[in-house]
Amino acid sequence: MSFIEESLSSGEEIVARFKLHWFSRIPMVLWLALGLVTFGVTWLVAIYEFLRLRAIEQGVTNKRVIFKTGIIGRKSEEMKLASIETVEINQDILGRIFGFGNIKVTGRGTSDVVFKGINDPMSVKRQIESVSNPVA
């Protein structure tokens, strides 16, 4: 069971999970390729990178946005939908070309929640805004 599923409160449902773009896996692939040259020494770094990426969970429920990371330890950032003020997209040129970027959710009185390396950030922005500002 995922962290998001475990942390659901009563009446809370998962609306969407946000996936990392394939570009996020490039460092892991580079470490694996370098392992061929170094006879596998850097494969430990590649395994760590694989586990780190696999441990990232990000999504939105009908009550909050959630970002969780950590292989052994756990760090989660959450923000209630009622606290959200803005949802910003940050994309550089590669992000625009390949369709990935960062989403920064800013709220009142709380720290920001940043989703990094998100696949299709415009769709993620729409999903968060449609849940946090339902049409009457």
Instruction: Please answer whether residues 51 and 99 qualify as being in contact, where contact means their C-beta atoms are separated by less than 8 angstroms.
Output: no
Q: What are the C-alpha distances in Å from 19 to residues 37, 55, 66, 107?
A: 31, 12, 13, 22
- The pLDDT tens digits for 11-43 are 999 999 999 999 999 999 999 888 888 877 788
Find, among 94, 68, 95, 92, the residue nearest to 8 by Cα.
68
The pLDDT tens digits of the residues spanning 106-130 come to: 998 768 999 999 999 999 999 999 9
Taking only the tens place, the pLDDT of each residue in 91-105 is 999 999 999 999 999
In angstroms, rounded to a whole number, what is the distance separating the alpha carbons of residues 87 and 9?
Answer: 24
Nearest to 4 by CA among 51, 53, 62: 62
pTM metric for this prediction: 0.87
Please tell me the total count of domains within the chain. 1
In a domain, 7, yes or no: no
Q: Residue 3 domain-assigned?
A: no
User: Does 68 or 111 have the greater pLDDT score?
Assistant: 68
Please say whether the beta carbons of 9 and 62 come within 8 A.
Answer: no
pLDDT surpassing 70 at residue 59: yes
In a domain, 42, yes or no: yes
Q: Would you say residue 110 lies in a domain?
A: yes
